[in-house]
Amino acid sequence: MYFSSWLSQLCRALSRPIGRTSQPIWVSLCRNVVLSSQRKIPEFSSFVSRTNTCGELRPSHLGQEVTLCGWIQYRRQNIFLVLRDCHGLVQVVIPQDESAASVKKVLCEAPLESVVRISGTVISRPPGQENPKMPTGAIEIQVKTAELLNSCRKLPFEIKDFVKKTEALRLQYRYLDLRSVQMQHNLRVRSQMVMKMREYLCNLHGFVDVETPTLFKRTPGGAKEFLVPSREPGKFYSLPQSPQQFKQLLMIGGLDRYFQVARCYRDEGSRPDRQPEFTQIDIEMSFVDKTGIQSLTEGLLQYSWPSDKDPVVIPFPSMTFAEALATYGTDKPDTRFEMKITDISDVFRNTKSEFLQNALREPQGTVKAICVREGAKYLKRKDIESIRKCATDHFNQEVLPVFLKAGSNWNSAVAKFIVEEHRLELTRIMELREDDVVLLAAGEHEKACSLLGKLRLKCADLLEGRGVVLRDPAQFSFLWVVDFPLFFPKEDNPKELESAHHPFTAPHPSDSHLLYTEPEKVRSQHYDLVLNGNEIGGGSIRIHNAELQRYVLSTLLKEDVTLLSHLLQALDHGAPPHGGIALGLDRLMCLVTGAPSIRDVIAFPKSFRGHDLMSNAPDSVPAEELKPYHIQVSWPTDSEAENSLNHSHHPES
Amino acid sequence: MYFSSWLSQLCRALSRPIGRTSQPIWVSLCRNVVLSSQRKIPEFSSFVSRTNTCGELRPSHLGQEVTLCGWIQYRRQNIFLVLRDCHGLVQVVIPQDESAASVKKVLCEAPLESVVRISGTVISRPPGQENPKMPTGAIEIQVKTAELLNSCRKLPFEIKDFVKKTEALRLQYRYLDLRSVQMQHNLRVRSQMVMKMREYLCNLHGFVDVETPTLFKRTPGGAKEFLVPSREPGKFYSLPQSPQQFKQLLMIGGLDRYFQVARCYRDEGSRPDRQPEFTQIDIEMSFVDKTGIQSLTEGLLQYSWPSDKDPVVIPFPSMTFAEALATYGTDKPDTRFEMKITDISDVFRNTKSEFLQNALREPQGTVKAICVREGAKYLKRKDIESIRKCATDHFNQEVLPVFLKAGSNWNSAVAKFIVEEHRLELTRIMELREDDVVLLAAGEHEKACSLLGKLRLKCADLLEGRGVVLRDPAQFSFLWVVDFPLFFPKEDNPKELESAHHPFTAPHPSDSHLLYTEPEKVRSQHYDLVLNGNEIGGGSIRIHNAELQRYVLSTLLKEDVTLLSHLLQALDHGAPPHGGIALGLDRLMCLVTGAPSIRDVIAFPKSFRGHDLMSNAPDSVPAEELKPYHIQVSWPTDSEAENSLNHSHHPES
């Protein structure tokens, strides 16, 4: 008797689509290996004591004697078991005859998730018992020998995808969580994609993979750098946030084309979806301009993109920072959907509404709007309330959201200010139709845009909660954002400047003359790469002139240049023009795999408080072990300790 | 007028052979790219503002208009200059006619090592002026335009290979030192070899490249681990010495075939030719035995070996630890030359020499010898003295070296103990010939072997100093050393045991029964890979049984198992049998490139005291920046500080 209904249930769980593809993950993984650049499938069973992997067996293997190693995923009435390895599942028939009693004993007594090695023959499933949804569903294994390699104690949770676990439990038992189909898939796709990137950079374009140190010295303003005490009293290494200085020094050293899959460190305390250590694809080239880096990056992503997804179309569209802010209210627009910001200031030039008049009289005063198409159909009263709350929570009264229903009744508190003439003009400019909802913000340009940018995403969330698909998860919309300002006013002291990105960014050639007169107006040669509303990379053409770099650091930014004297000196010794980019690998893989969190594309992630929940790192260290480093712990006072204690009681994830 | 004699001198310097190849480095680099797996040459000029690299131009480019970017390496009487980029040198003819005055001005006024972009035509050199030793020696560039991209200030040293610099100066101006032919070569060969390793592992054998954390918790006995203070009072991360725990957890997580080019950290204070951070090719597989890992490693090295060297012959020979000690007096024998240790105890069983009799009566007492062939011809009296000094410096009087000239007169202080009968027997056993020198050591087996192993290398140094080639630098002799003891007695307390390698190493299956009775006799499943007398890798089959692991850790090694509770728990949840290896990439590249120090295969190495001489790391940190980490510096007392100060005045390299 066969239990095809159970198996098909299991297979349904395993064939959960990734993105919009409807293929089982195992199938898509295999296809990926075959299709990408037409290379042959790797030998997955070389060097080990199996002849095949569980997942690869097909009718073409019929009659073959095979040896398999794997975990017992499921057993049914001591007649079948399902054996799993990292390539998939296969059904194993437990022998029932007396002569095979010892084999039966091994296979029936081992707890689930025990590890066994079996040998046997690949046979057809009886007619009608095939499972077309399971890649190995046409065959099964007639076992001859079985060996228990390791027994499994009781598990804290089952290794099945449809068993929901809390993330804290998953992180505590990460070695079990890694057995899940999704984690196996994510880590393999990551490895394959990075390998393709390396092929593109090294083999096609002559880049040199150079490893740079992570024990370095602190950088100016490096407040987010982890410290590493050395054996010299009072001397510390820093774990750098990126290999920025090293990659520039490599260019000065004539390395010409550098890349590294670089481990970076950032100590930001508790931040959700950030990791204290993360990985970036770090690239730098000499004699290059913005266009060169952009083309390289586009080619890189196109070449390495998983072959089971739609090919990446290049070149990517580009938008200035100013345009992104005015149109999407953010420097990382999600361009998968419209709902763009419209400037409607002109409509209200002659309004009688004091509120609007006041807004327009401010410096850079504007009235802006977004249109939520068919919003009236989908948005409930409580949605409108939550939008309003979002607006007031994030912004003060200088910016006021106004809700207008485009249809017959302009149902809004502010509607009374809007005379028929304005209403017609608005309808014309924004092409409003019955059931559209308009969100209106009046105030200073940047603030109004920024508010509407946030409300745009909020509305997309709300509409999608009501079943409207705005952002196709299988669509990948890349966008360059360029022409950022070189400096921003410091938040705590707007009279001083800080770098918008970092102090090595070169000014835009058209604005260089302003550096000495109106530095706040200078645009930079920085570029960000945005994917579906996430910044996945950023880079710039760097300053290669020592004098200019010194002026920016010391005169404009008032930094302590002694910490960078080696770099300034290097720029004086024949530094070539150079530029580069860094892609955030964790975030990119998160988007590629459709994972809900970067913790799902990292083998051993830390909790959002920076803890390893499996091993309990960071941990206490005996005072004796601190001595060689000439440090001691400054234990907090009672009240400080209490704060810290409360803090550590926050839920982990 | 051409200055071919000067150019040929320059080219001689640039064509310095690497190992025994007599090809210029640039040529060998290019050939490497072409030949290895028949892939085409990468596009070195894609995305940038040049059409070609300096080093690639050949007569096939004649008549082409090219744009080149590079550094001015040399200029002769304002008529020629030599332009250099990372691919080589090309001769540029400076135009002399009035109409090109501005071009001439740029090229003649720029200091050496300034960066320029030139455009011009590839032309033939006049007949008789070709330089066959220079890859681009048949052509030169007739310049049309020139642009100064960056000017160079006065250099601390010239970028020429024949200009000798101290290592401290090279490290201080590392960005200039990187421009040397040798550093460019070493870093490129490293990148190419690692890329080939990745192809072998990922594309041919289905390994998954998984990144593991470097912010972890301390491991038992992890006294050499750097600490990283966290923002929680008294809690520290550790920078692990290897991903050992993570790779085992990945196997338990079903990842099956893992590799990583892993950054590792070891704080050993001042050790020459060690680096506080280093890189290993880290590999782990499930369902594998020793033979599987060895075959994989052999295939990996054969596949990735630079194609301009003799192919790697596999399988590698193998030797037990006991055999290596008895034959070469070390666990990392240099098998490129003989001079093996011979046990000559039997010759002296009936000797009248009290010294030899005493030695033989000791537990494991032996008499051993090595034969320095034709030693009498090459070794001077002062050599013999330095050998004798080496012996007494490293060993006490229990072991005594004896020098015997095989020829007519056994010229030695101990010769009088050796009667004619012994002399004939020795001559027969060791096949002694006229002019051979015998070094004899009497004492406990291991000590006698160990002494002769050291003297063997010392003699090789001395003979090579006299022009005898014993160890061909172009020969690569790989050797597996296996069957190590699982434990050694602790040095400071010989009644207790410590792991010979690490506590996760599985016992040899034939010795498992001894674990509970005579653990000191148990051999392990550890294997070391030795190349030319250097340990370049090591690994083992691991313990996959939780109970056995607990017994080893807590009963035999008396370690605090709470620090490893996550791993012990993981072993209980269906851990597959597994094993792996780690190859030390820095040391391997050092041997492959023939570099004198690992600092020559690392872009930004630290001095032997762990300093970055370029940036001055580690550095002081303001007390304010220590606060978030709840640590303060324990400044040493005056006398401690003085010690530390003296210490820091040691020369750096």
Using one digit for the tens of pLDDT, what is the confidence trace for B47-76?
A: 999 999 999 999 999 999 999 999 999 999
Specify the DSSP class assigned to residue B556: I
Inter-chain touch B175–A249, beta carbons under 8 Å: yes
Element (H, E) at A190: helix A181-198
Q: How many CA atoms lie within 13 A of B584 on its CB side?
A: 22
Mean pLDDT of B318-337: 98
pLDDT at A422 over 90: no
Locate all alpha helices (DSSP H) within B430-557, ordered by sequence.
445-465, 546-550
pLDDT at A567 over 90: yes
* Cβ contact B631:A631 at 8 Å: yes
Inter-chain touch A634–B634, beta carbons under 8 Å: no
Mean pLDDT of A589-615: 95
pLDDT confidence tier of residue B435, bands split at 50, 70 and 90: confident
pLDDT at A432 over 60: yes
Nearest to B255 among A69, A86, A610 (CB): A86
pLDDT digits (tens, 9 = 90+) for A368-408: 999 999 888 898 888 888 888 888 887 665 556 666 666 55
Closest CA of chain B from A419, distance in Å: 56
Window 253-292 of A, Cβ < 8 Å to B: 253-257, 263, 265, 267, 269, 276-277, 279, 285-289, 292
Inter-chain touch B253–A175, beta carbons under 8 Å: yes
pLDDT confidence tier of residue A8, bands split at 50, 70 and 90: very low
- Residue corresponding to tokens 């960071």: A618
pLDDT digits (tens, 9 = 90+) for A207-256: 999 999 999 998 876 678 999 999 999 999 999 999 999 999 999 999 99
Does A399 contact chain B (CB < 8 Å)?
no
Inter-chain touch B618–A206, beta carbons under 8 Å: no
Mean pLDDT of B338-352: 92
Contacts with B152 from chain A: Cβ below 8 Å: 572-574
Residue A38: partners with Cβ closer than 8 Å, 6 or more residues away: none
Predicted pLDDT at A643: 59
Q: pLDDT higher for A637 or B3?
A: A637
pLDDT at B441 over 50: yes
Nearest to A256 among B85, B253, B292 (CB): B85
pLDDT at B150 over 80: yes
Residue type at B103?
V
Contacts with A289 from chain B: Cβ below 8 Å: 49
pLDDT confidence tier of residue B641, bands split at 50, 70 and 90: low
Q: How far is CA B530 from CA A231, B373, B477, B502, in A?
A: 32, 25, 8, 19
A161-170, A553-562, B510-519, range with the lowest pLDDT: A161-170
- HEC sequence for A4-27: HHHHHHHHHHHCCCCCCCCCCHHH
Predicted pLDDT at A112: 95
Backbone angles phi, psi at B119, to 5 degrees: -125, 145
pLDDT confidence tier of residue A461, bands split at 50, 70 and 90: very high
Listed residue (B397, B374, B528, B318) closest to B327, CA to CA: B318
Predicted pLDDT at B270: 67
Does A43 contact chain B (CB < 8 Å)?
yes
Inter-chain touch B42–A206, beta carbons under 8 Å: yes
Inter-chain touch B233–A641, beta carbons under 8 Å: yes
Predicted pLDDT at A400: 60
Mean pLDDT of B440-465: 93
* Cβ contact B359:B365 at 8 Å: yes
pLDDT at B11 over 50: no
The structure's pTM equals 0.92
* Cβ contact A255:A246 at 8 Å: no
Q: Is the peptide bond before A605 cis (omega within 30 degrees of 0)?
A: no
pLDDT at A38 over 50: no
pLDDT digits (tens, 9 = 90+) for A118-145: 999 999 999 999 999 999 999 999 999 9
- The angle formed by the CA atoms of residues A508, A579 and A535, to the nearest 5 degrees, is 80
Contacts with B84 from chain A: Cβ below 8 Å: 254
A39-43, A371-375, A636-640, range with the lowest pLDDT: A636-640
Mean pLDDT of A418-444: 87
pLDDT at B10 over 90: no
Predicted pLDDT at B416: 67
Predicted pLDDT at B556: 96
Window 456-515 of A, Cβ < 8 Å to B: none
Mean pLDDT of B244-257: 97
* Cβ contact B486:B507 at 8 Å: yes
Contacts with B232 from chain A: Cβ below 8 Å: 618, 644, 648
Q: Which residues pair with A497 in a beta bridge?
A: A489
Contacts with B280 from chain A: Cβ below 8 Å: none
What ipTM, to 2 d.p.?
A: 0.91
Predicted pLDDT at B346: 93
Inter-chain touch B621–A227, beta carbons under 8 Å: yes
Predicted pLDDT at B32: 38
A54-68, A149-163, A165-179, B547-561, range with the lowest pLDDT: A149-163
pLDDT confidence tier of residue B491, bands split at 50, 70 and 90: confident
Say how far apart CA A507 and CA A499 lie, in whole Å.
Answer: 11
Predicted pLDDT at A165: 80
Nearest to B254 among A86, A289, A295 (CB): A86
Q: How far is CA A417 from CA A351, A356, A402, A558, in A?
A: 8, 9, 11, 49
Residue B324: partners with Cβ closer than 8 Å, 6 or more residues away: B330, B331, B332, B333, B481
Inter-chain touch B631–A627, beta carbons under 8 Å: no
Mean pLDDT of B266-295: 92
Predicted pLDDT at B37: 43
Closest CA of chain A from B252, distance in Å: 6
Inter-chain touch B287–A69, beta carbons under 8 Å: yes
Predicted pLDDT at A299: 98
Q: Is the peptide bond before A509 cis (omega within 30 degrees of 0)?
A: no
Contacts 24+ apart (CB under 8 A), A564-567: A564/A219, A564/A220, A564/A245, A566/A249, A566/B614, A566/B615, A566/B616, A567/A245, A567/A248, A567/A249
pLDDT at A35 over 70: no
For B374: left if phi > 0, alpha if psi spans -120 to 50, otherwise beta; the answer is left
Mean pLDDT of B154-163: 73
Predicted pLDDT at A602: 97
Say how far apart CA B138 and CA B90 lie, in whole Å.
Answer: 10
Average pLDDT, chain B: 88
Inter-chain touch A227–B269, beta carbons under 8 Å: no
pLDDT confidence tier of residue A155, bands split at 50, 70 and 90: confident
pLDDT digits (tens, 9 = 90+) for B223-233: 789 999 999 99
b/e code B213-246 from CB counts within 10 Å (16+ = b): bbbbbbbeebeebbbbbbbbbbbbbbbbbbbbbb
pLDDT confidence tier of residue B517, bands split at 50, 70 and 90: very high
Predicted pLDDT at A627: 94
pLDDT confidence tier of residue B313, bands split at 50, 70 and 90: very high
pLDDT at A420 over 70: yes
Mean pLDDT of B92-102: 95
pLDDT digits (tens, 9 = 90+) for B403-413: 666 655 555 55
Predicted pLDDT at A414: 61
Window 560-599 of B, Cβ < 8 Å to A: 563, 566, 570, 572-577
Cβ-based burial of A469 (10 A; exposed 0-12, middle 13-18, buried ≥19): exposed
Contacts with A212 from chain B: Cβ below 8 Å: 603-604
Mean pLDDT of B87-94: 97
Mean pLDDT of A626-637: 93
Closest CA of chain A from B101, distance in Å: 24
Query: Count H helices, E strands: chain B?
Result: 19, 23
Say how far apart CA A88 and CA A27 lie, in whole Å.
Answer: 9
pLDDT at B646 over 80: no
Does A297 contact chain B (CB < 8 Å)?
no
